[in-house]
């Protein structure tokens, strides 16, 4: 299979995963969907339920952003953020070092402090926070956006969301990606 065919297959699988999650959240019956997609959707939903954050797709993000103030945070490595990120997104990198080997949340002080995180988002615990990452983490692994969502809930934020999908699905659903080239790469 060529690269463009693999990308199309990944994009359709990603969109099918997002649609399956939406159906499961709404309590709808799932028909004509591969079992691996249903399983992946259930893994993501179970994790979000366990840590009390919500999963949303790009269309829902667009709707929420019209209704209320949001803070959009890219949790990817800084290089990825600088090269391309969603319009209006702030950056705060999260990674697996924010979890202990047994899956407990631990703050990695080598990155940035909790206070720096709080300064980046807001002291308003009722603000809507939406986290995403640009990694292609399989659903059975915890992504940087999952970790950020878990931390936001632990720190007392009430309206925490994790954006599903990837760059291609976000753009196809109407989100705008921006390009910023770091000065080291110009």
What would the pLDDT profile of 123-134 be if each residue is shown by its tens digit? 899 999 999 998
- Say if residue 181's pLDDT is above 60: no
Looking at per-residue pLDDT, the higher value among 120 and 4 belongs to 120
Q: In the prediction, which pLDDT does 110 show?
A: 67
Question: How far is CA 149 from its chain centroid?
Answer: 8
Nearest CA to 140 out of 25, 16, 39 is that of 39
- Say if residue 180's pLDDT is above 70: no
Nearest CA to 147 out of 120, 113, 108 is that of 108
Q: pLDDT (tens digit, 9 = 90+) per residue, 127-154? A: 999 999 988 888 888 889 999 999 999 9
Q: Are 169 and 14 in contact (CB under 8 A)?
A: yes
DSSP character for 85? E
Structural domains of the chain, with CATH: 53-185 (3.40.250.10)
Residue 112 pLDDT class (50, 70, 90 cuts)? confident
Q: pLDDT (tens digit, 9 = 90+) per residue, 27-53? A: 999 989 999 999 999 999 999 999 999
Q: At how many degrees (to 10) do helices 35-51 and 144-154 cross?
A: 30
Structure tokens at 163: 């954006």
Q: Are 129 and 152 in contact (CB under 8 A)?
A: yes
Q: Are 121 and 127 in contact (CB under 8 A)?
A: yes
Q: pLDDT (tens digit, 9 = 90+) per residue, 94-105? A: 887 777 777 778
- Say if residue 24's pLDDT is above 90: yes
């Amino acid at each position: 299979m060529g690269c463009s065919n693999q990308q199309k297959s990944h994009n359709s699988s990603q969109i099918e995963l997002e649609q399956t999650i939406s159906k499961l959240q709404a309590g709808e019956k799932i028909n004509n969907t591969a079992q691996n997609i249903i399983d992946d959707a259930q893994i993501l939903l179970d994790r979000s339920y366990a840590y009390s954050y919500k999963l949303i797709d790009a269309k829902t993000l667009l709707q929420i952003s019209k209704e209320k103030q949001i803070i959009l945070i890219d949790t990817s490595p800084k290089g990825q953020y600088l090269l391309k990120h969603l319009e209006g997104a702030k950056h705060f990198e999260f990674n697996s070092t924010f979890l202990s080997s047994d899956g407990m949340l631990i703050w990695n002080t080598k990155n940035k402090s909790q206070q720096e995180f709080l300064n980046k988002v807001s002291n308003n615990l009722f603000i809507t926070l939406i986290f995403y990452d640009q990694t292609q983490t399989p659903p059975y692994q915890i992504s940087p956006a999952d970790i950020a969502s878990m931390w936001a809930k632990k720190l007392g934020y009430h309206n925490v969301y994790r954006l599903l999908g990837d760059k291609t699905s976000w753009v196809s659903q109407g989100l705008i990606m921006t390009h910023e080239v770091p000065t080291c790469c110009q």
